[in-house]
Structure 1
Amino acid sequence: PAPAGARRRPASPRASWRDDDAAGDSWRDDDAAGASWRDDDAAGDSWRDDDAAPRRGTASRPPQPPLATRSRGSGIRFGEDAELDDDAEGTAEVDASNLARASRRGPDESSSEQTAELGAAEVARDLDDPDYDPFAEVEATQKKTKQADPEREKAMRVLSIVGLLGIAIAVGIYLQATKPGEWKKVDAPEPIRVAVGQTVRFDEPWAPVDPPAGRYMPDARGEPYVIEDGAVARVEWVVPHVEGRAIFLIHGLQEGEAYFQLRFDRSRRVKVFRIIVEGDDPHDLARDKRRAEFRKLHPKKLREILATAKATGDTYRERRDFVGKESYYRLSWQEYARAVDAAEALRSKGLALPEKELRAIEEAEQRAREEYDAFVQRELAIYRDLVRKNEPRRDRVDQLRRLLRGISHSCDARYKRFRLILSKLYEEPVNADGNEYCEHDPAR
C-alpha cells in the first residue's frame, strides 16, 4: 500500500507484466510480502540519492529500464506498471534482500544486474581522484607476464652466433669459388710477316664463349680502329663486331719486329702476336722485275709496248668518268707507268728517244697518279658525308661501291677496309668489275 497522503497514479493503460502462473502477484518478494521497494531499516527511503532527488521546477530523470525478477513460478515479469506515485516518478525501491540476491546473480543475467555486481568493487575506488590510473592494473599484469627468460635469451644468443658463423663460411666459400685465376700469357705459334709498305690481312679465330676484349660496332665511315701504332708496324682491327674471328690489317712501316695482343677476360689469358717486317714493297719489286724484262726485249718490241701503253692510257683517261668506269683512273695511271718503263728500256739500249716525248710520258704518269688519288679522296668524302647525314642505306651502299671501284686495288689498305665494311657491316656484295686484282701488280 502507498503511504498515507500520497496521491495514487492512474493505472497505466498498458498491460503489466504478470506471470500467468502467479495471477495477482506483483513486484513483491515472498519473504517480504507487502513490502515495497524500501529498505526495512529505513522505511520510507527510496533508491534515489537525496542529492539527486528531483526538485521543483527541474526536469525529472528519464525513466530507468525495468528490472527483471524471478517470480514464484518460472515466469519473469517487469514491474513497469508497479511504480509508486511519489515525487520521483519511475524510480524503483529495492530492499536489502533483493540487493543481495541481485549481487549474487551470474553472468547470464541482464546487464543491469551485472552492473550492480560491479558496483561493489568500484566503491573502493574514487573515480574523481586525479591520481587514479585505470590502466595501472593492466600494465602491472603485462609486466608480470613479460618477465625475461634467461634460458630463452641464452638459446637465442647461441642461435644468432651460429647463424652469423654459417653466413661467414658461406660467403668465404663463394668468394673462393668465384675468385678469378691468374692472367696467363700465350704466344702465337707463328709470327706475322709483312714487307715495308705492304698491307696484309690476318684473321684470328676465337670461341663464342670467350670473346676478346675491345669489340664494338665499327664506324661505318671507315675510320681505322688502330690497336697498335708503332714505328715498325701499325695494326688495325677491322669490323670488330664480327663473331667468331678477329680480322686485322697489318701495315709494315719499316724493318724490325713489333707486337700486339688480344685479351680474353673469360679465360684470363693474353695472346701475344709477333710481327716481323722485312723486305721491300712487293709492288716496287714487281715493277723492278718488269723493267728488267723490258731491257731484254728487242727495241722494236719496246717501241710497240711504248706506243700501245700510251694510247691505252689516253683511252682510259678519256672514259674514266663514265658510269661504272671508276677503275679507269687507276688503269690509266698503270698504263702510263708501263710506257715510262718501256721508254727507259729503250734509252738503256742507247737508242735515241726524243727528250720531249720521254718528258711527256713521265708527266702523263705523274698526272694520272695525282688524279687517281684526288678521285679516291673525293669519293671517300662523299661517302662519309652520306653516313654523317644518315642518308638512305641504298645511297650509302651505292657510293661505297663506287669508291671501291675507284680504288680498284685489292692490295690497298683502304680497299681492304671498305670491302670488309660493305660485306660485314652492310652485308652487301661488292659487285667488283675485276680490275681490282693486284697480287703486286705490274706485268700488264
Structure 2
Amino acid sequence: MPAERIRVEGVIKLFGERAHEGLDLLRKGAGKDAIRERSGAVLGLDNVSFTVEEGEILVVMGLSGSGKSTMLRCLNRLVEPTAGSIRVDGVEVTTLGSKALREFRRQTFGMVFQHFALFPNRTIAENVEYGLEVQGVAPAERRRRALESIELVGLRGWDAKLPSQLSGGMQQRAGLARALCVDADILLMDEAFSALDPLIRREMQDELVSLQRNLRKTVVFVSHDLDEAIHLGGRIVLMRDGAIVQAGSAEEILLAPADDYVRRFAEHIDVSSVLTLGRLVDETPPLLPESLHAEDAWPLVETRAPDEVLVVTCDRHMPVGRVSRDRLGAPGARGRRLDALMDGGIARARSTDVLRTVLPLLAREPLGIAVVDEHNRFLGLLTRERVLHALARTRPGDGEWNGSTPAPGAFPSSHSTRSATTVSTGLPLTFPA
C-alpha cells in the first residue's frame, strides 16, 4: 500500500490585518460574508482536509476564487495558513522556523507555475540547474543533472538556447525540467499548462503522466479544467468558496455529484472518457456452458433467450463463443455439444478500460464485449444498450440517470433475472424473466 506523503487537516486561511478576529468568528459559526463585514478579513480556505499518497497525482480544482491556488501555496508556506495542520513526510510544516522551512522546501518540493518564470538572460541549461546552484552543488554535477532533466522532458539539444528561442510549450518543459532537476519527490504545479495552446497543452499533460509513471513523483496539480483533471488521472479535490465540496475519482464526481454545483461542473464532460467498463457491465447475461448438448439447451433458449447466447467454459465461466437459437434448433444439432456448434471468438476488455477505448470494438460485436478483471475473470457483458444509456446518462427502463442509484459500483441491471436451471457443471444459467 502506498505511503502517505501529505496530510492536510483543518487548514484555514484568512487574509487581512484582523485575520485572527475573523478566525474566532469562523469558529463560532459565522459565514464568509459575515466575517468580512465584521472583521474585514477575507476567508480564503475554510477547514480544508485531504491526503496525498506517494506516487499519486492529486488534482485540486475549482473556479476562480475557489481557493485552489491558495491551498497549494499553503503546502510549502508560500502562503502562511492561519490555522490547521500540514504534515509532509511526517514533518509538521506549519511549525518550521524560517531557516528549516527554506531547507525543507529545497529538499522536498519542486514548483511549476502557470508562467514559466525562466531567467531570460540564462540558457535553458542554466535555468534548469538554478535550484542546484542555490544549493551549492558543484558546477559539473549540476550541469550533468540539468542535462539529464532536459532530456527527460524532450528538450535534448536545446540546452544552450535562450528562453526567447523556444516556443511556449518548450519553455514550460524547461520549467518542468527545473523542478525535476532538484530531485524533489513532490511536485507542486499551479495551472502549469493553462497558458498553452490546446495541442501543446495535451502534449504536456501526456508528458507529465509519462514522467509520473516512470519516476513515481507525487504531484499536486491545480487546475480549473475538469477535462485536464480527467486526463491526468488520479483523485480530484473540487473546491468552492475556500472549502472542499467533493473529493474522489472522476467517475465518482461524474456519477454521484455531491450537489448541484458539482453536477453543473461535470455536465459537459465526455462520459465515455471517464466511465470504466466495470461500472457498465451486465452482471447476469444469459450464459450456457460449452459442455451442454443442443437438446438440453434448446428448452432454455426457445422462448426466453436473445437470438444469440454466450457460451462459457465450465471451469472459469469465461466466454468462448456464441450460439444462435436457429443453430440450436437445426435438424443436425441434436447430440452435439455447444462447443461444436458455437461461433468462437468473444472480444474481451479489462474492467479498468475507459469506455471510449472500446467503442470501435463494440461496434463490431453485436452481442457485446466480455469484461474481465485483472486476473482475467469474467465479470459480465458490456452491451450496446448499456453503453447508449450511459452516454445519455439514463438508466435502462428508467428516466434520467445521474449515478446516484446505485452507489458507485456496477451499473444498474437492464432487466430483472431469475435462475433458470443449473446443469451438472454447477453453472447457473440466467435468462431475462
TM-score range, shorter chain: under 0.3
Which one has the bigger strand percentage?
Answer: 2
Greater relative contact order (Cα < 8 A, sep 6+): 2
Q: What TM-score results when the alignment is normalised by the length of structure 2?
A: 0.19
Which one has the bigger helix percentage?
Answer: 1
Larger Rg: 1
Q: What TM-score results when the alignment is normalised by the length of structure 1?
A: 0.19
